Amino acid sequence: MNLVVILDFDGVIVDSIEGLYNCYDKFLKQYGYSADTVSFDRYNGMKLQDILIDIKNTYQITNSIEELKKNYEELIENVYQECNLMPGLENFLDYCENNNVRVCVASGSKRKNLNSIFNRFNLNSRFQFTVAGDEVHQAKPNPQMHLEIKKAMGNGQYIVVDDSENGIEAAINASMNPIHFTINSNISNHPSISSFMELTSVLTKYILTNQPKHHFKKITTEVVPSFLEQTKEINQYWDFITKDNPSLFNGPLYQVVSFSFKKTNQNIHLKLSELDYKNWLFQNHILKKKNKEKVAISLGVTGIVKNSQGEILIGRRRSNLYSYPNHLELPPSGAVEPGRGKPEEQLIRELEEETGINNENISFIKPMVNYFDHKSNILDIAYLVCLKSSSPLLKVSDEYSELSFIEISRAKIMFTKESSVETSKVLLNLL
């Protein structure tokens, strides 16, 4: 997978927008005018030369472009000596490096401004390719910068993160995937994020979609703050949907913020944040339709239960369930909930709750694979559960209407012919 992220500079890499606006205001006041956010936003992402030409024509300023340019650049220089990096940038760059995601920069700012920040914060080696405004003939919204990067990086999936409409338009003109970096997603007509933690979760979905399955030996986790908030709209949606689906239960979940896999030791490391089911459902089913969703991947646990004769346990999900009703599945399966132990421990608990098979019946549990069901936005951690006996006592539950042990070959035929849960089909193919 060749995944390339192109970051804008001002307002994305460096927290310079407020300083640049003040600079713009000081500049205009020297000629008897005041700044406004509308014109400032319109200039965001453009080359300084193009901005000054427009200012000169708009305000009928008699000074030459060279005079205006010298004056403006003196004001701008102070901005980059005082501003800081955007919060979370360096952690995001670490994540990209660990997952072989290349990061580039496309900026309307001059090269000396980029170098000023890169040198101050030791960022010169963190980007694979950078293009500045004074190195191209046409800046945003023209896609020349982005196409220069694509020429250097080659074909692949390109994500462009920009805080300006000019930058978003340039990404679209370059046939790349735009993401609007803004604290107010309501003003954007495009997928949007407000932090690098959110951007990390977006990349996580790209990574898992392209490589959904990894054989693992160990899994480690750490909990980080959530970037998703409860809103009145979420509660209204939940009240509406539970009227027609009374079996829905709003329990706690883990949202997968980042996923990393090390081939050397086959270790999966997850950054998780706490979420509840109604928020997750809202993000994935309502905001997705409006192109406004925040990436919310929930963490699940599942497995293959094999008896002493080599038969595997299959179940039919009840018809009143909201997710995968009446589908064949390999029990147990469920969400990994905060405060209830490691995924393996929760698998054992799910097994007893859903089938009646308790821990005393288990011979051993072995890690298998993770699998990302991109349609449902669930990352499942799967284990092989081997039992001591051939016919443990089974009980039906609220989850399954039918449970039985059958031969693997027969199960594969059934899961091919009938509607079945995607993750279960993937696990069956491993046997």
pLDDT band at 100 (very low <50, low <70, confident <90, very high): very high
* Angstrom distance (rounded) from CA 44 to CA 24: 11
Q: What percent of the chain has pLDDT over 70?
A: 97
Handedness of CA 254, 258, 259, 264 (dihedral sign): negative
Residues 302 and 423 in one domain: yes
Residues 281 and 245 in one domain: yes
- pLDDT tens by residue, 317-368: 999 888 899 999 999 999 999 998 999 999 999 999 999 999 999 999 999 9
Contact 141, 166 (CB under 8 A): yes
| Owning domain of residue 266 | 212-428
Last residue within a domain, chosen from 181, 208, 235: 208
Determine the average pLDDT of the residues in 179-200. 83
- pLDDT tens by residue, 13-54: 999 999 989 998 898 999 988 989 888 888 888 888 888 898
* Angstrom distance (rounded) from CA 290 to CA 293: 7
Nearest to 276 by CA among 224, 332, 238: 238
pLDDT band at 145 (very low <50, low <70, confident <90, very high): very high
Residue 95: which CATH number? 3.40.50.1000
Element (H, E) at 176: none
Last residue within a domain, chosen from 62, 82, 102: 82
pLDDT band at 188 (very low <50, low <70, confident <90, very high): low
Which pLDDT score, from 0 to 100, does residue 192 have?
87
Residues 42 and 143 in one domain: no
**Paired residues of 329 in beta bridges:** 315
Task: Answer whether the bond into residue 141 is a cis peptide, omega within 30°.
Answer: yes
Residues 34 and 141 in one domain: no
Beta 400-406 vs 252-262: how paired, if at all? Answer: unpaired
105-109, 112-116, 229-233, 257-261: which range is least confident on average?
229-233
* Strand extents, DSSP E, 231-361: 252-262, 267-276, 297-306, 312-317, 328-329, 333-335
Determine the average pLDDT of the residues in 199-214. 92
For the chain, what is the largest distance between any 2 Cα atoms, rounded to a whole number of angstroms?
A: 92
- pLDDT tens by residue, 283-317: 877 665 555 556 689 999 999 999 999 999 999 99
Residues 136 and 42 in one domain: no
Q: How far is CA 328 from CA 156, 249, 402, in A?
A: 36, 22, 9
- Amino acid in the structure at residue 125: S
Nearest to 160 by CA among 133, 180, 188: 180
- Amino acid in the structure at residue 68: L
Helix intervals (H) in 30-143: 37-43, 48-59, 65-82, 89-98, 111-120
Q: How many domains does the chain have?
A: 3
Residues 73 and 106 in one domain: no
Residues 250 and 370 in one domain: yes
Residues 63 and 111 in one domain: no
Residues 97 and 74 in one domain: no
Residue 22: which CATH number? 1.10.150
Residues 273 and 422 in one domain: yes
Q: How far is CA 96 from CA 122, 161, 182, 285, 379, in A?
A: 17, 14, 21, 28, 20
Q: Is 350 helix (H, G, I), strand (E, B) or coil?
A: helix
Backbone φ, ψ for residue 43 (5° rounding)? -85, -15
Which pLDDT score, from 0 to 100, does residue 77 have?
82
- pLDDT tens by residue, 43-86: 888 888 888 898 989 989 989 999 988 888 888 888 888 899 99
Residues 328 and 253 in one domain: yes
Residue 234: which CATH number? 3.90.79.10
Which pLDDT score, from 0 to 100, does residue 292 have?
54
Question: Which two structure tokens, joined as six digits, stand for 321?
Answer: 């369930």
Q: How far is CA 106 from CA 49, 99, 127, 140, in A?
A: 17, 21, 11, 9
pLDDT beyond 60 at 386? yes
Contact 266, 218 (CB under 8 A): yes
Determine the average pLDDT of the residues in 258-271. 93
Residues 109 and 256 in one domain: no
